[in-house]
Amino acid sequence: MENINEKTVSVLNGLIEINNDRIDGYEKAAKEIEENDLKSLFTEFANDSRQHRGELITEVVSHGGSPAEGNTAAGKVYHAWMDIKAALTAKDTKGIVNSCEYGEDAAVEAYDDALKSDGLSQKLRSVVIRQRAGVKQSHDKIKMIRDSAKVEK
């Protein structure tokens, strides 16, 4: 039983770290971007990740684990948010949106990987599926914005 809890905590902590990455990235993007509608959207996405993180933390604690506090040390999401930093420096809206989409691709992939794990109960699988749907919806919004003529700058 201990092994199952450790595996569950590990999977959930990975998702906590991904959400920490999303929060940091979207907070930076919202702070620096000039377009108010994108600023609001990025703030909304950061808040969604805070809610996801809170749910995941509750589950980690209920399984006897310690919630992850940091961000991913390496990997796709981390590097995508680093690209956002570079785009922010140049105030490049298109670059920011492209980096956000790349980060969302990596976040969806992290949720997909979590769902492939055998360390999730049916209840936790439902939570992860619901959160993944929200992340995928965010991804699709970012992609739609990227594809629109609005992001020409």
**What is the mean predicted confidence (pLDDT) over 100-113?**
89
- Percent of the chain clearing pLDDT 90 (strictly above): 52
pTM of the model: 0.86
CA distance 113 to 29: 26
Closest CA to 83 of 40, 29, 137: 29
Residue 142: pLDDT over 60 = yes
